[in-house]
């Protein structure tokens, strides 16, 4: 049940259809510009693909290619969170197609992104069947239209209607990315109870569905997974699905799934430790994850902490050190050593250590910080910002008690502000 850790953090879904990479050679169109755009999209060069799809719209006289090129442009714009540019291309899709469904789906999705529930519902209606969009090259399905309508209904305050529409749609279209993404989004927003929709998810398809929607809000995915877990505790299919997203959860929820994986004998995966180690995760989140993950593997957590702390901004050092003392006090030594990469940062850490009652350790940090090359460039203003007068006085008194009059003189030589 091993699953690769994603290469980058997933973003929340756009509530919309989008152009997806495909093999441009598998179904050539005969339009050089259009096929070049598809090849670029297949290579994940979305910005260039967008430009060439726009070129293809003007270059071709084939209405199917023109409609598909415009749909790809609209889908990419939705993926880039630029919905205000979609309407013109949706109009091209409609004018070049034999039916309006694809253009309607794209424009309704743009309305949802813009927060315009009225516009989306004017296009899709509040109820009733929708005609499946069709395109030879652009991935689309009627599920995307129902998903957009559900989101628009929720946005407009028609939550009951949205829930009914979602249940009805899932009964007929249970294996669709767009509808399960919608479930995850609404669960993340605490608008629906995921347990009401789990009957539509066949146990054999759990891993497939979570793979499709791995970019949905992690809290929503967690809610769906928790609902499945409560129905069948110990289900290895749920545990396999969890490895796709649990690294994005807050440390406390991540720890819950880590323990469940360990209880099931899965030792090669630890979402919380993975979160602490992933360089694309913000360093603040990596530090907090490491402080909790120490309960799982102290050596690995320390290594992750020591790699992330030097990237923390000066202004957050004291707060995160305090968190470390609260969550994993025995990791504070690793935090302090990793944080003191300059004299200024050493003084900031010393000030925080004094506040936590660790005066001897604070003094050692000051001594080490004053020996760094960056000490020569430290200004009086920076000194005062880093060390409060009370902390300076305590440190100076401690220095004299250790017969280190030089450090005591340094601490007292910088005029205090005010």
pTM value is 0.80
DSSP states of 366-391 as a string?
HHHHHTSGGGGG--HHHHHHHS-HHH
Residue 132 CB burial class (10 angstroms; 0-12, 13-18, ≥19)? middle
**Mean pLDDT lowest for which of 4-13, 78-87, 133-142, 238-247?**
4-13
CA distance 387 to 350: 8
* Residue 294 predicted with pLDDT over 80: yes
Across residues 178-200, what is the average pLDDT? 91
The tens digit of pLDDT for each residue in 327-366 reads: 999 999 999 999 999 999 999 999 999 999 999 999 999 9
Confidence at residue 202, expressed as pLDDT on a 0 to 100 scale: 87
Assigned domain for 411 exists: yes
**Mean pLDDT lowest for which of 163-177, 240-254, 358-372?**
163-177
Q: Total structural domains in the chain? A: 1
Assigned domain for 197 exists: no
Assigned domain for 377 exists: yes
- Closest by CA position to 98, among listed 56, 129, 133, 139: 133
Across residues 45-71, what is the average pLDDT? 96
Confidence at residue 15, expressed as pLDDT on a 0 to 100 scale: 47
Assigned domain for 23 exists: no
Q: At 228, give phi and psi (nearest 5°).
A: -65, -40
The residue segments making up the domain with residue 412 are 340-418
- Closest by CA position to 57, among listed 104, 96, 87: 96
Confidence at residue 143, expressed as pLDDT on a 0 to 100 scale: 92
For the CA atoms of 319, 323, 328, 332, what is the dihedral angle to 10 degrees? 10
Assigned domain for 403 exists: yes
Assigned domain for 80 exists: no
Assigned domain for 383 exists: yes
Query: Using an 8 Å Cβ cutoff, are 269 and 242 in contact?
Result: no
Confidence at residue 12, expressed as pLDDT on a 0 to 100 scale: 38
Q: Cα separations (Å) of 244 from 83, 222, 262, 271, 396?
A: 28, 11, 16, 9, 52
* Residue 149 predicted with pLDDT over 80: yes
Assigned domain for 33 exists: no
Which tokens go with 284?
């603040």
Confidence at residue 196, expressed as pLDDT on a 0 to 100 scale: 87
Q: Is 264 helix (H, G, I), strand (E, B) or coil?
A: coil
Q: What contacts 336, CB < 8 A, 6 or more positions away?
A: 321, 349, 353, 361, 365
Rg (CA), the chain: 28
């Amino acid at each position: 049940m091993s699953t690769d850790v994603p290469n980058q953090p997933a973003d929340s879904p756009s509530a919309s259809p989008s152009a997806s990479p495909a093999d441009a050679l598998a179904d050539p169109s005969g339009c050089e510009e259009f096929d070049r755009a598809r090849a670029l999209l297949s290579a994940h060069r979305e910005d260039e693909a967008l430009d060439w799809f726009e070129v293809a719209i003007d270059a071709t006289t084939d209405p199917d290619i023109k409609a598909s090129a415009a749909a790809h442009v609209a889908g990419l714009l939705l993926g880039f969170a630029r919905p205000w540019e979609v309407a013109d291309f949706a109009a091209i899709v409609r004018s070049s197609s034999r039916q309006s469904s694809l253009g309607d789906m794209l424009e309704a999705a743009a309305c949802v992104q813009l927060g315009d529930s009225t516009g989306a519902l004017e296009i899709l209606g509040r109820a009733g069947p929708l005609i499946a969009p069709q395109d030879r090259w652009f991935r689309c399905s009627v599920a995307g239209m129902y998903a957009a309508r559900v989101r628009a209904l929720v946005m407009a305050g028609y939550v009951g209607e949205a829930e009914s529409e979602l249940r009805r749609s899932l009964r007929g279209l249970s294996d669709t990315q767009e509808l399960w993404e919608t479930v995850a989004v609404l669960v993340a927003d605490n608008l629906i109870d995921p347990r009401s929709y789990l009957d539509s998810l066949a146990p054999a398809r759990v891993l497939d569905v979570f793979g499709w929607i791995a970019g949905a809000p992690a809290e929503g995915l967690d809610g769906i997974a928790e609902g499945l877990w409560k129905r069948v505790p110990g289900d290895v299919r749920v545990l396999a699905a969890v490895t796709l997203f649990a690294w994005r959860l807050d440390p406390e929820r991540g720890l819950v799934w880590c323990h469940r994986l360990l209880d099931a004998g899965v030792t090669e995966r630890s979402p919380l430790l993975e979160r602490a180690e992933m360089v694309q995760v913000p360093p603040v989140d990596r530090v907090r994850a490491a402080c909790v993950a120490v309960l799982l593997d102290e050596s690995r957590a320390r290594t992750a902490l020591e790699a992330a702390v030097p990237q923390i901004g000066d202004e957050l050092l004291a707060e995160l050190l305090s968190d470390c003392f609260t969550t994993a006090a025995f990791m504070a030594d690793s935090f302090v050593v990793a944080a003191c990469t300059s004299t200024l940062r050493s003084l900031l850490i010393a000030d925080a250590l004094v506040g936590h009652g660790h005066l001897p350790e604070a003094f050692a940090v000051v001594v080490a910080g004053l020996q760094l090359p960056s000490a020569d460039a430290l200004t009086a203003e920076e000194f005062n910002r880093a060390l409060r007068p009370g902390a300076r006085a305590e440190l100076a008194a401690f220095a004299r008690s250790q017969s280190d009059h030089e450090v005591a003189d340094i601490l007292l030589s910088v005029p205090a502000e005010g």
